């Protein structure tokens, strides 16, 4: 596969560096042809920062999405599911600072009003507008501010608006997440862009936080949905910051066909190239979300190998990632492998402890049911690092999975203890 002129595997650091270079981060969702974006200040966030974003495609786009499985889903989730069910959209409108969750009939009406305001400003139909909100649960949207923000954002749309749009959807994130990728499909360059937010209340069971992806690929809408669903399972669904699932999670992709590639209508080589590029982009953005977890000082990759199935590997990885004892140990730079093997044991996956090997940063700490001697100096260096790989080989099969998480710090408690105030 040719990605921006380089023949690279999606797993290589070189490709990741290209996707998230300074140039790519700035280009973001307006890198694909035919997309405009904007982010403006509407006064919804107490900080006074950017808080309303609009992403717009000049051509009607095929649309696909995945949404939170939390039974207490927010109003915009319900409204946007209906848009995605029709498989087409022209815009995404999102606000930060208020989640519009647990707001009853008024919340539903406000989400619909967001569609109507945006449709009038953009010259399209309300049912073509995906809406999203993030922020404090239980508070009604300040619709006077939201309306002003949507109108101002629609006026400000530009090909350089991705950075502001990304900044407008963040809450406790320390920075906006964005990136780009491109691939040759049947001799035509197809581009992808992404912005995402997420720092806390992340333990997805279908997507994560808010993630908006654009592409100028021409692809059948049902195939687009299938590709996104599969990609999400191996990327955004592999993150856990704190074990909580949000009421507002969604991942949306719009494909407007502006690249002019022969339309992807079946699962052929073109489809696989499309899906592989989307996967690499989503895995890269997932890593950045996990690394920017609330109060995080460590980025942890939990690589489970030798499992009997992908589901087993993921379940074990998530068990370790969700363990407060594991996360606090790594914050304290304590190589307490007992907490890791304990979390493996209660994951609910049948296993034989005598078959398991655990490594921290490539250094074996537990092999065949017992702890093993290691170089204290070498392990000290591993634990001091920001990026740490916890490798767990189950010795049972050939399947593997990577889960991304972070540590629990004093700052995490402070952020969440003061969130409402």
The bridge status of strand 363-367 relative to strand 370-371 is antiparallel
Structural domains of the chain ordered from first start: 2-291 (3.60.70.12), 299-417 (3.10.20.340)
Non-local (6+) Cβ contacts of 232 within 8 A are 66, 206, 207, 251, 282
What is the average per-residue pLDDT within 182-199? 93
- Give the SS3 label for residue 93: strand
Give yes or no for residue 255 having a pLDDT over 70.
Answer: yes
Give yes or no for residue 197 having a pLDDT over 80.
Answer: yes
Q: Which of 231, 196, 179 is nearest to 20 (CA)?
A: 179
Average pLDDT value over all residues in the chain: 90
Quote the pLDDT of residue 202.
44
The band of 16, judged by pLDDT with boundaries at 50, 70 and 90, is low
For the whole model, what pTM was predicted? 0.88
Please give the angle made by the CA atoms of 286, 290 and 292, to the nearest 5 degrees. 115
What is the average per-residue pLDDT within 349-353? 97
Query: What is the rounded CA–CA span in Å between residue 166 and residue 353?
Result: 45
Quote the pLDDT of residue 206.
37
Spatial contact of 396 and 306, defined as CB atoms under 8 Å apart: yes
- The two three-digit tokens of residue 387, written as one number: 């990026």
Q: Which of 151, 174, 178 is nearest to 164 (CA)?
A: 178
Give yes or no for residue 392 having a pLDDT over 50.
Answer: yes
Torsion of CA 415, 144, 176, 413, to 10 degrees: 10
Q: What is the pLDDT of residues 97-128, one digit of tens each?
A: 999 999 999 999 999 999 999 999 999 999 99
Q: What is the pLDDT of residues 293-319, one digit of tens each?
A: 766 789 999 999 999 999 999 999 999
- Give the SS3 label for residue 372: coil
Tell me how far the alpha carbon of residue 219 is from its chain's centroid: 22
Quote the pLDDT of residue 64.
98
Torsion of CA 364, 365, 371, 374, to 10 degrees: 80
Alpha carbons within 13 angstroms on the beta-carbon side of residue 103 total 26
238-264 burial, b at 16+ Cβ within 10 Å, e below that, comes to bbbbbeebbbbbbbbbbbbbbbebeeb
Give yes or no for residue 209 having a pLDDT over 90.
Answer: no
208 is catalytic: yes
Quote the pLDDT of residue 199.
59
Give yes or no for residue 201 having a pLDDT over 70.
Answer: no
- Other beta carbons within 10 angstroms of residue 185's beta carbon come to 24
The band of 416, judged by pLDDT with boundaries at 50, 70 and 90, is low
Strands (DSSP E) found in 19-72: 35-40, 52-67
Quote the pLDDT of residue 409.
77
The band of 143, judged by pLDDT with boundaries at 50, 70 and 90, is very high
What is the average per-residue pLDDT within 149-163? 98
The band of 4, judged by pLDDT with boundaries at 50, 70 and 90, is very low
Query: What is the rounded CA–CA span in Å between residue 339 and residue 341?
Result: 6
Share of the chain above pLDDT 90, in %: 78
Quote the pLDDT of residue 20.
92
Torsion of CA 381, 384, 386, 388, to 10 degrees: 60
Query: Which of 208, 215, 247, 277 is an active site residue?
Result: 208
167-181, 273-287, 330-344, 404-418: which has the minimum mean pLDDT?
404-418
Give yes or no for residue 131 having a pLDDT over 80.
Answer: yes
- The two three-digit tokens of residue 141, written as one number: 């949207």
Q: Which of 9, 75, 53, 84 is nearest to 252 (CA)?
A: 84
Quote the pLDDT of residue 5.
29
Quote the pLDDT of residue 252.
97
Quote the pLDDT of residue 421.
41
- The two three-digit tokens of residue 376, written as one number: 């204290």
Query: What is the rounded CA–CA span in Å between residue 69 and residue 308?
Result: 26
Quote the pLDDT of residue 1.
39
Give yes or no for residue 364 having a pLDDT over 60.
Answer: yes
Q: Give helix 269-291 / helix 221-233 axis angle, nearest 10°.
A: 40
């Amino acid at each position: 596969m040719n990605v921006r002129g380089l023949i690279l595997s999606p797993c290589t650091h070189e490709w990741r560096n290209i996707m998230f270079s300074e140039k790519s981060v700035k280009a973001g969702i307006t890198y694909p042809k035919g997309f405009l974006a904007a982010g403006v200040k509407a006064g919804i966030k107490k900080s006074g920062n950017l808080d309303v974003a609009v992403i717009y495609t000049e051509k009607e786009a095929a649309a696909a999405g995945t949404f939170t499985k939390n039974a207490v889903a927010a109003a915009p989730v319900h409204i946007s599911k209906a848009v995605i069910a029709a498989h087409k959209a022209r815009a995404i409108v999102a606000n930060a600072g208020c989640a519009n969750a647990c707001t009853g009939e008024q919340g539903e009406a406000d989400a619909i009003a967001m569609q109507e305001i945006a449709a009038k400003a953009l010259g399209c139909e309300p049912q073509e507008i995906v809406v999203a909100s993030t922020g404090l649960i239980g508070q009604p949207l300040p619709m006077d501010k939201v309306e002003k923000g949507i109108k101002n954002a629609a006026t400000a749309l530009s090909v350089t608006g991705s950075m502001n749009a990304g900044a407008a959807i963040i809450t406790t994130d320390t920075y906006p997440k964005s990136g780009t990728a491109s691939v040759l499909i049947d001799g035509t360059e197809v581009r992808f862009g992404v912005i995402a937010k997420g720092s806390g209340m992340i333990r997805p069971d279908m997507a994560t936080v808010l993630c908006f992806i654009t592409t100028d690929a021409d692809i059948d809408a049902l195939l687009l949905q299938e590709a996104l669903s599969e990609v999400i399972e191996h990327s955004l669904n592999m993150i856990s910051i704190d074990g909580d699932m949000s009421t507002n999670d969604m991942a949306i992709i719009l494909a407007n066909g502006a690249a002019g590639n022969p339309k992807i209508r079946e699962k052929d080589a073109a489809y696989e190239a499309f899906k592989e590029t989307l996967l690499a982009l989503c895995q890269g953005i997932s890593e950045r979300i996990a690394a920017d977890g609330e109060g995080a000082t460590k980025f942890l990759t939990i690589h489970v190998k030798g499992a009997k199935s992908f589901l087993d590997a993921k379940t074990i990885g998530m068990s370790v990632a969700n363990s407060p004892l594991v996360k606090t140990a790594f914050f304290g730079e304590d190589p307490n492998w007992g907490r890791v093997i304990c979390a493996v044991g209660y994951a609910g996956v049948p296993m034989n402890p005598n078959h398991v090997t655990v490594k921290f940063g490539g250094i074996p700490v537990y092999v065949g049911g017992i702890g093993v001697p290691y170089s204290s100096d070498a392990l000290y260096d591993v634990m001091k690092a920001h990026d740490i790989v916890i490798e767990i080989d189950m010795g049972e099969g050939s399947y593997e999975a990577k889960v991304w998480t972070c540590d629990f710090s004093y700052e995490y408690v402070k952020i969440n203890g003061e969130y409402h105030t």
